[in-house]
Amino acid sequence: SALVRSSASAKQSLLRRSFSSGSVPERKVAILGAAGGIGQPLALLMKLNPLVSSLSLYDIANTPGVAADVGHINTRSQVVGYMGDDELAKALEGADLVIIPAGVPRKPGMTRDDLFNINAGIVKNLCSAIAKYCPHALVNMISNPVNSTVPIAAEIFKKAGMYDEKKLFGVTTLDVVRAKTFYAGKANVPVAEVNVPVIGGHAGVTILPLFSQATPQANLSGDVLTALTKRTQDGGTEVVEAKAGKGSATLSMAYAGALFADACLKGLNGVPDVVECSYVQSTITELPFFASKVRLGKNGVEEVLDLGPLSDFEKEGLEALKPELKSSIEKGVKFANQ
Ligand code: NAD
Ligand code: LMR
């Protein structure tokens, strides 16, 4: 009978809840810039993620359409679109994780820093709203220049009195995704098995892949390693030039952003040993923000892992990136405090 069935299913759900492996907590994820080139495929990928129960899609335009479209997919999360300043509070309230791909992308000939003037202001406003409406959320910053937008976010959060350095992440996963792809091609190893840490920041020479630590190991020549490093550092520019004025990486970035968000959610949910590279507040070097391997946990950053052994080539790269990264950090801090 229906009664027997429902009491059996109640028992089952009780059982499920009593085993941590069987219970999937409710998690609200907000994407700010959700109708953009990254935002749309990222919304799709987050809709496919079973760890998400509520997906909040915010942009200054076009979110009703994106939300209606993605919302028809028969997966766990409830999707709601929010448009314009007046709806930002509702978009953020109760969020566990906020992903920010809002802002303008590069055109050929531009550096990421050329985006500063427009994107710094966008990030500042969005972070002020996060401080107000979901101060405990993890923040995944995608908007460029990441080397400066993360320090801007930190300063805005400090001013609001809710800054928790464990909860702020610059997304550098695309650098790792590229390093893995390029390495697998040269090393002739299965790409799915490849791991390559990428440290530093997210622009040009500040992106430093550590191919000396790549697994599976391969005996690549110095020339090949130099070329692989350069291709990883210029990966974004490669896409910008190929798109010839129609923006920068969106699909590979959505993939990378979804991967990093999934790692953050797993950390929040208590899954052990979740390690990803990310640009975070750091004491690994003398710079206040630095990308390196980070262990993710229930409060965000659980541990910033040290760099491990570097080759001489990588040691030189590390010293060479510091001045640019330092000035990008200072530029962000100054902007937020002016
Ligand atoms: P896009 O122009 O296609 O989309 C940006 C979206 O942001 C648009 O829909 C726009 O309406 C929205 N937006 C603008 N101001 C906003 C605001 N105040 N609030 C909410 N949304 C707002 O650009 P894109 O290709 O999606 O790139 C977005 C950003 O991501 C750029 O800054 C780009 O440089 C950066 N990016 C970073 C990485 C990385 O590895 N971290 C990779 C690729 C791109
Ligand atoms: C990337 O690495 O693809 C992004 O940072 C976008 C860009 O401007 O290169």
**pLDDT for the residue 2:** 45
| Residue 312: its H or E element | helix 312-337
Reported as a single tens digit per residue, the pLDDT across 96-143 is: 999 999 999 999 999 999 999 999 999 999 999 999 999 999 999 999
ipTM of the complex: 0.99
Cβ–ligand 1 distance for 98 under 6 Å, the answer no
Task: Say if CB 216 and CB 236 are below 8 A apart.
Answer: no
List pLDDT tens digits, range 175-230.
Answer: 999 999 999 999 999 999 999 999 999 999 999 999 999 999 999 999 999 999 99
- Residues with beta carbon inside 6 Å of ligand 2? 105-106, 112, 144, 174, 235-236, 239-240, 248-249
pTM: 0.95
Q: Residue 314 C-alpha to ligand 1 middle, in angstroms? A: 31
Q: In the annotation, is 202 catalytic?
A: yes
DSSP 280: E
For tokens 């750091």, what's the residue? Answer: 282
Catalytic annotation, pick one of 112, 202, 231, 331: 202
| Tens digits of residue pLDDT in 252-265 | 999 999 999 999 99
User: Residue whose CA is closest, atom 5 of ligand 2?
Assistant: 236
pLDDT of residue 23: 84
Can you say whether the dihedral through the CA atoms of 224, 230, 233, 238 is positive or negative? negative
Note the Cα 334 to chain centre separation in Å: 24
Task: Fill in the amino acid letter for 195.
Answer: N
Residue 21, pLDDT > 60, answer: no
pLDDT digit string (tens) for 226-259?
999 999 999 999 999 999 999 999 999 999 999 9
Reduced 3-state DSSP string for 2-50: HHHHHHHHHHHHHHHHHCHHHCCCCCEEEEECCCCCCHHHHHHHHHCCC
Pair 126, 147: CB distance under 8 Å: no
Per-residue confidence band for 22, with pLDDT thresholds at 50, 70 and 90? low
Average pLDDT along the chain:
95
